[in-house]
Amino acid sequence: MCGTNRCQTACRCTVNSLFVGKITAVAKSNKGSTAVLKPGENPGKIVDIDVSNEMSDSFLEYAYSVIYSRALPDARDGLKPVQRRILHQMNEMGLRPDKGHVKCARVVGDVMGKLHPHGDGAIYDALVRMAQSFSMRLPMIDGHGNFGSLDAGPAAMRYTEARLATAALLMVDESDEDTVDFGPNYDGQLVEPQVLPAAIPNLLVNGTTGIAVGMATNMAPHNLGEVIAATKALIENPKITLKGLMKFVPAPDFPTGGYIFDPQGIDEAYKSGRGNFKVRATVEIEKISSRKMGLVITELPFNIGPEKIVEKIADLVKGKKIQGISDIVDLSDGQNGTKVVVEIKNGYEPGEVLENLYRLTPMEDAFSINAVALVNGKPQTLGLKELLQVFIDHRIEVVRRRSEFRKAKAQNRLNLVDGLLKAIIDIDKVIKLIRGSEDAQVAKAGLMKSFKLSDEQATYILDMPLRRLTKMSKVELETEQTALKKSISELTALLKSEDSIKTKVAAELDEIQKNFATPRRTKIAS
């Protein structure tokens, strides 16, 4: 402890010096007046600053950073910044499903160096989770190697390999068609998407979890087919009730299966964004030998591994807190999934033992939904209908911007094709004119005058290699011209009507449902 005035002065100086780098600081002069100091002014001078205000401001900045840049997902694409950056950068690296796997260390290095300067551990953890079939209802990463299990972590990133899964293309495709806004990366040298186009309601399909400062989020995964069906129903009828939507999405659908035996809290969760329900393991009572019955556990609650169950049951038996169990064997593996066999002693009722296991072990687990996500840059707690509506609004905007981009691209190409059709009539004259010109400007002026071309059309013809120019086919150009005009007409009609855009969104969702929907895994108790 500091006991002397000298020590107290030294301590005060040390504290004050910590905040010399503040953007603005107030210094007291000898005459009692105050002056605003800027960074770099009077280097080495100790400036008195109110520590409580400084700590308050700094903590607030930290809280904002965690909330917006790390812990909470965007309600539109359902991704946290690190997940979005991984998918975007892997797409930029060309790691698509038809390409080979590359070392995860290479992916992590690219993401960290270009977009996410928060450490390789956090990036690799996020990448691994997106590859785990027991964590994601629709995995986004196609992993090769040991990506862990419910009871054990993954191998080091230098041993594992990855590429984008087919489902990930639904998230990243069309990002190069001006469908989303881009912003500067952490050092301003590159740009990154602020949100992905996201052709599926990913936040509901895969769920998420995150702990920010002063708030947290925990969202359950759902069945893709059910969520898309509810989305299409909301598009067709914006006034549909929550009860009507729950006919399509009755409850979450966990990748590990199990069954929801206490669904009362789901209604409240879908209404307000907060609610609790209980999930139980799937267990069959079977005859495991000629004389003994047993419990065969094939599915466990979300994020519960078989080793944890085996250890818990063993501890209960040793502590004599549960009776009637003679043996327990874990037959789980990566190929066949979960299989834990609990042998029941003769004279005991398997059903009673099972109820005790539900009561005393994680074979029965509670799941709390806290649907907090960023909407227009602000954290909000959202119910089922609100979550679906945010996605629909986002997707409508994506389709509109995509259509405008494609229309402009088609119009530019049509302009060039029109110019080529004018020039192809007398290709020999074009070649002669170009060869007889002193420079490119003279040649361009000659083409514009002789064939009534625009500046853009003439420039395109001049820049075209001679071998391509001589091989031009009038029939091919006319066919392309007709196709472009048809495309422009269709896109113009689409952009004129909001209902047409909604119909387009619904049609694309229907196609995704046909290709990616899978049967429900988590059963619901009646």
Written as six digits, the tokens of 496 are 């004129």
Residues ≥6 apart with Cβ < 8 Å to 344: 292, 293, 294, 295, 324, 325, 326, 350, 353
Residue 144 β-bridge partners:
161
Looking up tokens 């119910």 gives 383
Distance from first CA to last CA of the chain, Å, rounded? 66
In the DSSP assignment, the letter for residue 68 is: I
Q: Enumerate long-range contacts of 455-464, CB under 8 Å, 24 or more apart.
A: 456/415, 456/416, 456/419, 457/415, 457/416, 457/418, 457/419, 457/420, 457/422, 458/419, 460/416, 460/419, 460/420, 461/419, 461/420, 461/423, 461/430, 462/434
Residues ≥6 apart with Cβ < 8 Å to 9: none
Written as six digits, the tokens of 165 are 């899964």
Angle at 177 between CA 453 and CA 458, to 5 degrees: 10
Angle at 88 between CA 388 and CA 501, to 5 degrees: 40
- A 10 A CB-CB count for 366 gives 11
Residue 209 β-bridge partners:
218
The pair phi, psi for residue 508, each rounded to 5°, is -65, -40
Written as six digits, the tokens of 367 are 């799941």
The residues carrying an active-site annotation are 159
**Phi-psi region for residue 133, left (φ > 0), alpha (ψ -120 to 50) or beta?**
alpha
Element (H, E) at 327: strand 325-330
Residues ≥6 apart with Cβ < 8 Å to 419: 451, 453, 454, 456, 457, 458, 460, 461
Angle at 366 between CA 126 and CA 73, to 5 degrees: 30
Angle at 130 between CA 335 and CA 63, to 5 degrees: 145
Counting every residue, how long is the chain?
526
Strand 161-164 vs strand 141-144: parallel, antiparallel, or unpaired?
antiparallel
Cα 357 to Cα 296: distance, rounded to the nearest angstrom: 12
Strand 161-164 vs strand 523-524: parallel, antiparallel, or unpaired?
unpaired
Residues ≥6 apart with Cβ < 8 Å to 102: 93, 95, 161, 162, 163
Asked if residues 30 and 339 have their Cβ atoms less than 8 Å apart, the reply is no
Print the SS3 string covering 387-456: HHHHHHHHHHHHHHHHHHHHHHHHHHHHHHHHHHHHHHCCHHHHHHHHHCCCCHHHHHHHHHHHHCCCHH
